[in-house]
Structure 1
Amino acid sequence: MKAFHRVTGRIAPLDLADVDTDQIIAKQFLKSIERTGYGQYLFYEWRKSGDFVLDRPEHRGARVLVTGPNFGCGSSREHAPWTLQEAGFDVIIAPSFADIFRNNCGNVGLLAVTLPEDGVRRLLDLATASPETEALVDLEAQTISAGDIQFQFEVEPFLKERLLNGWDEIGLTLRKLDRIEEYEKGRPAWMPAVV
């Protein structure tokens, strides 16, 4: 996973509550365990009806998605953060997230930021009225700036450390490789070996 420090990019407004993981990536596209190939199916059902907000030219290429409460509810599919990330999003901002979805985001390096509803509303309104406005999301400073709007946000310290260093779960394990190797050297010869 690549390290996350700060992101500058346009904001895409998705002014909807209770967006579940089946809307983010529909079940018929979950035929692979690879982390790639999903971005094209982001919000597939909504997009095929035409005039979906994220398909408007002014929101294409946005890196920050601002949305309503309870984002990522529903099933615990890891594919949802993979899909958002592959579609170009680095940050999701909402008043609340489903816990499993938030954890899955952290595991792949996608920053899920919780802001009060009035702050989210200000960002949604800004992205709608002035779609060319860019937001700066700074994880180290824990700030979001867009136009004349600025917010502080909270992030769990261990998640912040992981994101800043680009440590996914495998990366965390590899940090203890010397201890793992030392343990393996002391195991009895008759036990199975890790090769």
Structure 2
Amino acid sequence: MQAVTRVEGRAYPWGAKNIDTDIIIPAHWLKTVSREGLGRGAFESVRAEPGNLFDDPRYAGSPILIAGENFGCGSSREHAAWAMADMGIRAVIAPSFSDIYSGNAFKNGIVTVELPQAAIDRLVEVARTDAITIDLETMTVTTAFQDRYEFTMDPFRRQCLMQGLDEIGMTLAKDTAISNYESMVAAKRPWIKRESGDAGLAVTGIGRT
């Protein structure tokens, strides 16, 4: 996972409410287990409409999406986060998120920022012409017009995002401490390793005389 401390740039000024995962990535795109190329299917039904903002050259490649409340509701498909990441979105700002989508977004390095509706309305307005900055160090969303909105985030998720570590990566980062602990246990309680080995022999020896 790529480390992220700041996401800055143009944003898709969408603001739509109750966007479910089927709108983010339709079911017929779920046949693949690869994350690559899913961006082509992201928001497919919205992109089918003439003049949609996702194909508007003014917002091409925008790293931020501004949405309405209950973003990512519906099914638990992780493909929704994969598709958004593949199209270059690194952060979503909304009043609220589905818990499952928020978790999937985090695991794929997408920052989810919750702000009140009044702040969303203002950011949608700013995004039509200017860039927006999300800073995980200061926990703020700012604009060139001196707008400044503070947000909160689970400290563990914030640390993982800033270090570029998912939950598995965070565990692997403690590999030395884990190895040292296992060595200490093996020295102090050698019977544990012996019993574990005997259990393995018992399993592999089923059916033997």
Per the normalisation by structure 1, the TM-score is 0.90
1:88 is paired with a residue of what secondary structure?
A: coil
- Alpha-carbon displacement from aligned partner over 1:115-151 (angstroms, at most 9, x marks no partner): 00000000011223x2xx1111110110111121211
Equivalence map 1:1-195=2 (5 Å)? 1-128=1-128, 130=129, 133-148=130-145, 149-178=147-176, 179=178, 183=182, 187=193, 188-190=196-198
Q: Which amino acid aligns with 1:169?
A: E
- Alpha-carbon displacement from aligned partner over 1:47-81 (angstroms, at most 9, x marks no partner): 12322122111111111110111100000111111
Between 1:116-125 and 1:52-61, the stretch displaced more is 52-61
- Alpha-carbon displacement from aligned partner over 1:142-179 (angstroms, at most 9, x marks no partner): 01111212111111111111111111122022123342
- Alpha-carbon displacement from aligned partner over 1:3-40 (angstroms, at most 9, x marks no partner): 11112111111121000000000010011222222111
CA distance in 1, matches of 2:182, 2:79: 35
Kept in 1, the 8 Å contact 2:160–2:167? The answer is no
Kept in 1, the 8 Å contact 2:140–2:150? The answer is yes
1:189 is paired with a residue of what secondary structure?
A: helix
CA distance in 1, matches of 2:40, 2:149: 31
Q: Which amino acid aligns with 2:28?
A: Q
2:97 is paired with a residue of what secondary structure?
A: coil
How far off is 1:180 after superposition? 5.5
Q: Which amino acid aligns with 2:5?
A: H
Greater than 4 Å deviation, 4+ residue runs: none
Kept in 2, the 8 Å contact 1:13–1:54? The answer is no
Rg comparison, structure with higher value? 2
1:180–1:20 distance in 2 versus 1, CA, 3 Å: farther
CA RMSD of aligned residues (A): 1.9
